Chain A
Amino acid sequence: MKILAVCGLGMGSSLILRMNIEKILTELGIDASVAHMDVSSAKTEPADLIVTNPEFTASLAGVSCPIAEVSNYIDSEEIKVALKNSGL
């Protein structure tokens, strides 16, 4: 399973998000790889799930995988709920 953490530049915010997603996946015992990147790269990158800020949901409209929205990148509970609601 491949998860993308996505933000505007793929440098800062998405990396923090990626680290928190990885921490939660470990807690939940889920085996998945997580990559972080900017929104335009994410449009063409094959993935099973995209996790991103609501700001970018519209620009990712064409992608074939589910999109989980997270507003607070440092709130493990919010990220966990978003991951679970996405069917993980």
Chain B
Amino acid sequence: MLTPNHIYLDADVENAEQAIRLSGECLLRIGAIKPEYIDAMVQNWSDNGPYFVLAPGLAMPHARPEKGALKAEISVVRLNTPVVFGSKDNDPVSLVIGLAATNSDQHVALIQKVAMVLSDEERYKLFKNATNKESMISIFNESN
């Protein structure tokens, strides 16, 4: 479930690393990770490339659970100006979903929820264009 603390709208960042770090800061704020997890999120991008840019304009940075994830959560950062992650097909990115990945049933349930919202074209459009946090939260949290 999302709360206002999970979300950062109208963020100004200059590059992909700042965008990743900001999504990590939100995860830290809600107690989902230890600080070092943020470095691991950036490291995953350096090591494995921008494969986690899942769709045009949408990135889901994360790291391995043992890098400091405490509970299964996502954060949502929407950028004022899209930034380039190096993804041939999906750059530039304007919506960043930070993922605290754990080895748990909660993780699977969370990803299921995320996949359901993102894969529903109408709902995803409403979600990413929401005018404020409250509206974004209700679009995400509604059960169907």
Contacts and interface: CB of A to CB of B under 8 A. Distances in A.
B99 A8 contact: no
B131 interface: no
Contacts of B108: 15
A9 B64 contact: yes
Interface string A1-37: 0000001110111011001100100000000000000
Interface stretch (B6-14, B46-54, B132-140): B46-54
B56 interface: yes
A8 B48 contact: yes
Interface of B: 44, 47-52, 54-56, 58, 60, 62-65, 88-90, 99, 101, 107-108, 111-112, 114-115, 118-119, 124
Q: Which of A7, A8, A72 has most chain B Cβ within 10 Å?
A: A8
A19 B111 CA distance: 9
Contact of A56 (B51, B60, B89): B51
Contact of A9 (B48, B50, B90): B48
Given A11-B62, A74-B55, A20 B44 contact: no
A76 B90 CA distance: 16
Nearest to B60: A12
Contacts of A7: 51-52
A53 B115 contact: no
15 contacts: A7-B51, A11-B62, A12-B60, A12-B99, A12-B101, A13-B54, A13-B60, A16-B54, A16-B60, A55-B51, A71-B90, A72-B54, A74-B54, A74-B55, A74-B124
A: contact size bracket: 20 to 34
Contacts of B119: 20, 23, 74, 76
A23 B115 CA distance: 11
B51 A72 contact: no
A9 B54 contact: no
Nearest to B52: A13
Given A8-B47, A19-B111, A75 B62 contact: no
A53 B89 CA distance: 10
